């Protein structure tokens, strides 16, 4: 799948310990569905970074990870370079009203997903505040549906290069084959 833009997820409000598992889910979902990386605002969390890196080492692909970033600086830098900002929030406009415009623009996309409370400033800095339903649910679910619609379900065509293992899809069990040895 060739892309005309980069997609980076910016995770806001991450608190180590309490949010580590959900933030790991956000990162792995971003990777599996075709985003290019995740930036985690808040304190540095080596545990989350390592969890995601272990998956990349085993299952392949190129995916950037950094924690401990300052989200305002990231947004300002992103805008300066001509990228656009999409904030996923239950308070935003319906996904269906925004997705075509977002998909068709060739600008790099920074996708903001928050933990429980997102500062009001994020709503104002975003070019789009987009709701994946106007009900409270999960930033992992919202990101998954957003990326699925953005890439029109083509994540199944993604190629995770340099994987050690690949899955052979199966009706009734776990079939995995080793593509190469580690560290080769």
Binding site for its own copies (CB under 8 A): 18-19, 21-22, 25-26, 28-29, 31-33, 55, 59, 90-96, 120, 123-124, 126, 129, 131, 133-138, 140-145, 148, 153, 155-156, 158, 160, 166-167, 169-176
- In 3D space, the residue among 68, 34, 66, 42 whose CA is nearest the CA of residue 52 turns out to be 66
- In 3D space, the residue among 103, 75, 77 whose CA is nearest the CA of residue 87 turns out to be 75
In angstroms, give the least distance from the CB of 82 to its own copies.
21
In angstroms, give the least distance from the CB of 66 to its own copies.
19
In angstroms, give the least distance from the CB of 73 to its own copies.
21
Give the whole-angstrom CA distance, residue 146 versus residue 160: 21
| Beta bridge mates, 112 | 10, 87
C-beta closer to its own copies: residue 41 or 131: 131
In angstroms, give the least distance from the CB of 147 to its own copies.
9
Helices (H), the chain: 20-32, 46-59, 71-80, 95-104, 120-125, 139-150
C-beta closer to its own copies: residue 65 or 143: 143
C-beta closer to its own copies: residue 32 or 66: 32
Query: For 124, phi and psi rounded to 5 degrees?
Result: -85, -30
C-beta closer to its own copies: residue 39 or 132: 132
C-beta closer to its own copies: residue 15 or 46: 15
In contact, 120 and 87? CB cutoff 8 Å = no
């Amino acid at each position: 799948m060739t892309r005309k833009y980069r997609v980076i997820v910016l995770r806001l409000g991450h608190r180590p310990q309490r949010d580590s598992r959900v933030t790991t889910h956000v990162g792995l979902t971003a990777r599996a569905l075709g985003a290019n990386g995740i930036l985690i605002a808040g304190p540095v969390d080596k545990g989350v970074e390592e969890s995601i890196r272990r998956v990349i080492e085993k299952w392949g692909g190129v995916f950037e990870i950094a924690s401990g970033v300052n989200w305002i600086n990231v947004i300002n830098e992103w805008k300066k370079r001509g990228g656009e900002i999409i904030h996923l929030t239950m308070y935003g406009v319906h996904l269906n009203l925004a997705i075509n415009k977002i998909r068709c623009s060739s600008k790099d996309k920074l996708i903001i997903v928050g933990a429980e409370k997102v500062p009001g400033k994020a709503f104002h800095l975003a070019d789009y505040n987009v709701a994946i339903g106007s009900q409270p649910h999960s930033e992992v679910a919202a990101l998954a549906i957003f990326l699925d619609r953005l890439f029109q379900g083509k994540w199944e065509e993604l190629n995770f290069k340099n994987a050690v293992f690949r899955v052979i899809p199966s009706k009734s069990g776990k079939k995995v084959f080793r593509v190469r040895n580690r560290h080769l």
